[in-house]
Amino acid sequence: MDAGRFDRPGFLLGVRDWASHHVRISEGPLLGWTATNVLVACGLGAICLAAMVLVELARPAPLVDLRS
């Protein structure tokens, strides 16, 4: 199978999703799960994850193949 070009949008969305969830998991127990930055990180992570799924489904050579 040909790897194709590097999927930059998928990579950037995936990294942002991971970073948002990392902040949520590491700061939630310290600041409280209803702290503003924890809730914002959770929302951003969910938005980035949804955007990544849409981007990856539309790409001919996705970073993460969600169809198989």
Number of H helices, E strands in the chain: 2, 0
Q: Give the torsion sign (CA, 51, 24, 15, 64).
A: negative
**Distance between CA atoms of residues 38 and 43, nearest Å:** 9
Could you tell me the residue ranges of all domains in the chain? 8-58
**Distance between CA atoms of residues 59 and 65, nearest Å:** 9
Greater model confidence, 36 or 67? 36
pTM beyond 0.85: no
User: What digits encode the pLDDT tens for the residues 48-61?
Assistant: 999 999 999 998 88
pLDDT at 30: 94
- Mean of pLDDT values over 7-32: 92
**Distance between CA atoms of residues 58 and 63, nearest Å:** 11
Mean of all residue pLDDT scores within the chain: 90
